Each structure stands twice: as C-alpha cells, then as structure tokens.
Structure 1
Amino acid sequence: MKKWIVGCLIAFGMASGALAAKSEFPLDKAPNLTNDMAALQNGAKLFVNYCLNCHSASFFRYNRLTELGLTERQIRDNLMFFSDRVGDQMRANIDPAQAKEWFGAQPPDLTLVARSRSGYTYPGRDYLYTLLRTYYRDDTKITGWNNLAFDSIGMPNPLWELQGERRPIIETVSTGHGETRILRGWEQVKPGTMSPAEFDRAVADLVAFMDWMSEPNQNQRVRLGVWVMIFLGVFTIVAWRLNAAYWKDVK
C-alpha cells in the first residue's frame, strides 16, 4: 500500500494539476446513474478503495452517504478506513505538508472534479468516464502509463488490476490539414479481474458517485425546476384568461 501511495505522489509531483488539463480526445458518453442507488453505492465503494488513498474529498462528509440508503454502521464498517467518526470529512491518509515538500504538489481534491471538468458541450462525467477507460501501457513514461484522453498524464492507472493492460490500435489517416490519428479499437495485453463490459459498468458507477458527490442535491433541484416550470405555465394561462376577461368590455 505504501509503495502504491508513494508512486501516486511521484506521479502527481511530475504533473501538478493533472485533472485540470483540457482533453482534445473525443469523449465517450457516460451513462447518467445519479438516480440509481445501487450504482451510487458501488461507486462509493470503488471511490474509497481506489481513489481515497491519494485523493481527498474534503468538502464531503461520510454521513452524507446515508442519502444513498446506507446506514451509519454500514458506512463505518465498510467505507471508513482513515477516520473514526462518521461525521468526518473524506480525507486521504497523506500528510499534505510532507507531500508538498517532497514532490512539489498535492494530489487534487476530487469533491468537485465532476463539475470543474464540465465543458460547454459535455458534462464532467463524460470526461472522467473517458479518462478512466483510456489508460494504456507506455514504457517511455516514468509511471509506465499513458492516457488517450490526457496525453502524458502524470497519474498512473488506479484501476489497472480491474481492467488489465491494453494497447490502443491507432490508425494514422492523411487529411487536407495533415495527418490525424484515429482510434480503431483496443488489444487486451493482460486480462484484469473484470471483463471489459464489467469494467465499463464499474467505471460508470464510480463516475456516477463522483458526479453525485459534486452536487448531492442536483436531482432534487431538477425535480423542483420541473414543478416550477409547470406552475409558471399554468399561471401564464390563468393570467392570460384574466387579462382577456378584464378588457373584454373596454372599447
């Protein structure tokens, strides 16, 4: 565990602010599972097991996981490794001062990453979904990993045991503006503990949890917005008819 944490810190020291970089790779559409309680519970489990070792979610507290249908006992027994109280913030078990002194950068907080990675034409979950599924082995990098969505990424593949090792099949096509590299598929070099379909679903669950964590009230906000629009629509019709009745005898 310690070696894995140190490896992550070295990677983040090489690429400060890795998650803030802009992707030019075509993004895959992530399924919206923020209303799926089973998916969110599985995503929370993946987050604390594979992300919380290096990253914190310091703007989020464990007890908010009760909104996903979990009891405080379930949270304490299954999802808390670095804290004793269920009301604590989700912080990584890394000394921030030492991480900054040793490597020059701290692993970024992931509480709001799904919102901060949103663009004009895509939600942040699309970027995260694509990023976590496009890692491949690259011996020219010090971490041994690279990423199609984030070229020369400093973070190694946190889910490599689940996904295994893959190699992208890239075709170079000549166009009027030069040469373009097109992804034609993937070649599985070493199998992981999950099949490709199972891994894609696991990543979808993890991304859904990160999306929900960035704004736990988003679904309630959308539902409230729908009712507000319905009210305004009905009120508009009533006001229109009252206006017609008021002015009907005015010449």
Structure 2
Amino acid sequence: MKKLLVALVTLLPTLVFAAGPSVHLDKANIDLTDKASLQRGAQLFMNYCLGCHQMQYQRYNSTFEDIGVPLELGQENLQFTGDKAGDLITNNMPAEKAASWFGNPPPDLTMVSRVRGKDWIYTYLRSFYRDDSRPFGVNNVVFPNVGMPHVLQELQGLPERTHEERMIDGEMKDVYVGLKSDGTGALSAGEYDQAVLDLTNFLVYTGEPMKLERTRIGWFVFGFLLVFTLLAWFLKKEFWKDVK
C-alpha cells in the first residue's frame, strides 16, 4: 500500500499536466438532420482536411447516401482520389514522412467527435492565431503548441491575439481578451463560424453515422414496450378479477 501511494504521488504532476489548462469551449449547436449543413461540412473536409487526415472507417458511398448526395454527383465533386465508390476515405500521405513534418502523424478523424466532443472541435477550429515562433507560424488557444497549420486560413484570415488594459487588484494589467482576424479571409466572421459549424456537424455524423436511425428505432422500441406493458396490465386484471 505504501508503494502504491508513493507511485500515485509521483504521477500526480504528470496527470495534472496531461489534463491541460482549462479553456472555455463554445457551444456547437449542430443538427444532424440538416442535410445541407452536412453536405457543406463534407465539402470542407474533402477540400481542406483529407490531404492530411483520413477517415479510414468511413466509406464514400455510404457517406454520400447518408448526407443526401447522389452517388455520381458525390464522386464528381467530393471524391478526388480516383478510388471506387465503396472504398474507405483515405489519403496517400506516408505516416513516416508525416511524423517528420508535423511531429506526429495526423490522426484519423472518423471518431474525433467521440473522443474530443463537438464543442471542442468547434472551438479548436476557431482558435488559431499568429505565432511566428511556431514552425507553421500559428498556434492554438485550445491546443497550445499544436503541430497543425491553420488549413482554413484562406477562409478566416490570420487571427491575432488581442489584449487590453484592465484594472486588476488595483493595478492596470495587459489582459488577453480574444482573437481578431486580420481581415484577409474569404469569409466574414459570421460566415466562418457557420463553415466551422458545418464541418463540426459532418465530423459528429461520421463519429456515429447510425445515430439518427438508432434514435428512430429507439422510439419504436419504447412505444412497443409501453403498449406491451399496458396489455400485460389489462391481462393481469382479467386473470385476477375473480381471485379474492
């Protein structure tokens, strides 16, 4: 027991460090029934994310079907690798070279929403800022010292950390108040937030493609159990009505 306690005390600083700083996460109000949003999110993923990040547990044809895109139209506009419709969504980036370029191989994103959560993804993609000390010239508030470039920079522009002086404990201090884009992006701030929400929506879908169907079936099961319970109750009353 004494050795176990010593080990736990030794590991405590590591566990605290692994937990990372507490960062406020913005609410991602996604809607998996919004096929237009899912289609826009798929378009963003295929154009900006697939070059580095795979979805090796998701297939093109099932994705097109689920988000309401005709197969031929999906292959023409969302499938750039020449793979077959039934192939998994992968890329050709060598893992060894990716590790040397980015520090670690870019993770597969099929289940990222199940691991990180939709609010984390939504906030993370809106939290890049200029940092000339980093290899790709950017850092991230949610994921400090991230090895990923700001792949959506052409849409958002390059945000800067903004500060303002505030009175704290009787002293004027320079306080970080948020990020502000430099205005070079193709989208306005509101349009960029919507684009990130669409991409987040798509990533949540790929994390659990059957969620809507599972929910629909669940209501049928609930209804069946309710009817069965009522029938069983009436049957019990009928059998026991003459028993005193």
Q: TM-score range by the shorter chain?
A: 0.7 to 0.9
Q: Any conservation in 1 of the 2:99–2:105 contact (CA below 8 Å)? A: yes
1:170 Cα deviation after fit = 5.3
Alignment CA distance shift 1:190-1:54 (3 Å): same
Deviations 1:43-68 (A, max 9, x none): 11100100001111111111111222
The corresponding residue for 1:225 is 218
The corresponding residue for 1:51 is 49
**2:24 paired with 1:30:** no
Deviations 1:138-160 (A, max 9, x none): 22322211112112222121111
The corresponding residue for 1:88 is 87
Alignment CA distance shift 1:21-1:111 (3 Å): farther
> Mapping of 1:126-145 within 5 angstroms?
126-145=119-138
* Residue identity opposite 2:28 in structure 1: A
Alignment CA distance shift 1:143-1:21 (3 Å): farther
* Residue identity opposite 1:137 in structure 2: R
Deviations 1:190-249 (A, max 9, x none): 331001111111111111111111221110001111221122222222222322332232
* Residue identity opposite 2:55 in structure 1: A
Deviations 1:94-153 (A, max 9, x none): 123443477663211111111122xxxxxx111111110111112232221111211222
Alignment partner of 1:209 out of 179, 202, 208: 202
* Alpha-carbon distance between aligned partners in 2 of 1:52 and 1:163, rounded to the nearest angstrom: 19
> Mapping of 1:110-189 within 5 angstroms?
110-117=109-116, 124-169=117-162, 184-189=177-182
* Residue identity opposite 2:228 in structure 1: F
Structure 2 unmatched runs, 5+: 1-17
**1:191 counterpart SS class:** coil
> Mapping of 1:194-205 within 5 angstroms?
194-205=187-198
Q: Any conservation in 1 of the 2:130–2:161 contact (CA below 8 Å)? A: no
* Residue identity opposite 1:82 in structure 2: T
Quote the RMSD (CA, aligned, Å): 2.6
Alignment CA distance shift 1:125-1:193 (3 Å): same
Alignment CA distance shift 1:248-1:22 (3 Å): farther
Name the stretch that deviates more: 199-208 or 81-90: 81-90
1:163 Cα deviation after fit = 0.6
**2:142 counterpart SS class:** coil
Alignment CA distance shift 1:152-1:99 (3 Å): closer
For these two proteins, the number of residue pairs brought into alignment is 221
